[in-house]
Amino acid sequence: MQLVRSQGVTEELKCLGLLNVLDKDQDIPDQLAQVFGEPCIKLAEGIKAYISKVTEDIISKQTFIEARTMARPVNNSGSKFMTSVAQRPSAHLTLRDTSSQGFSLYSIPTPDLHQSCRHVVRSWANQSFGAHLHNMTLSNGKLRVPQDGRYYLYSQVYFRYPSPAAGDGDQRSVSHQLVQCVYKKTSYPSPIQLLKGVGTKCWAPDAEYALHSIYQGGLFELRAGDELFVSVSSPTMVNADDSSSYFGAFRLDL
């Protein structure tokens, strides 16, 4: 019995050896056909046909997967949004105190501005914590718009009644009109007033000092090249504080 099994295995191995000939697409020599016989040849051809079918199925599935992957659109809307945000012009400036450097925060009154706020604030800076200047430029207190679009503008000025000098007497009880304006300078000869905030304050005679702030903001259609700036009515009362006096703008995609 063991001998018969051994002979059967040997015959099967010889039969499978025909696959080498069939893989080379060669005709089976007559002497091999006589040696192995017709059953062995049919077995070898059947195995080859099965292998070819399995290989074709695998190639077909792989081709379909690659074609579907290439046809699928790549969703890069997120990256485009982040790029748009990164390139969006914006600025947040704080007021720099230059009194210790021997010159004023403000120039002489500008005649082509409204009489209530003719002193342009020129000492804005972006060096303090939280301040920045991104895709915009600042020159002599004026913020330049780089792109057409809708911008939100905002400004706050912190007014402080100074400690009176000796001999001022009743001057401490005099009321003061506090005005802050935001302008844009275009190709027109005169600047255009965009925002105006007003507060009339009367501080108590015995107060060492008093504080008041004016904030305003708004959305405006601006053009590339427009220049934005802030002016005030009472330059000697403006307190240069990073968190209280500031000016900024940023473009909105609307």
Instruction: List, as residue ranges, the binding site for Zn(2+).
Output: 202
Q: What share of the chain is helix, strand, coil (3-state, %, to 5)?
A: 35, 30, 35
Using the structure block, give the residue that is written with the tokens 């120039």.
107
For the record, the structure tokens of 78 come out as 């997120």
The b/e string for 104-114 (b: 16+ C-beta within 10 A; e otherwise) is ebbeeebeebe
Burial class (CB in 10 A: 0-12, 13-18, 19+), 26: exposed
Residues 6+ away with beta carbon under 8 Å from 40: 11, 14, 15, 18
Contact predicate 210/151, CB 8 Å: no
User: Which secondary-structure segment (H or E) carries 90?
Assistant: strand 90-95
The DSSP output letter for 175 is -
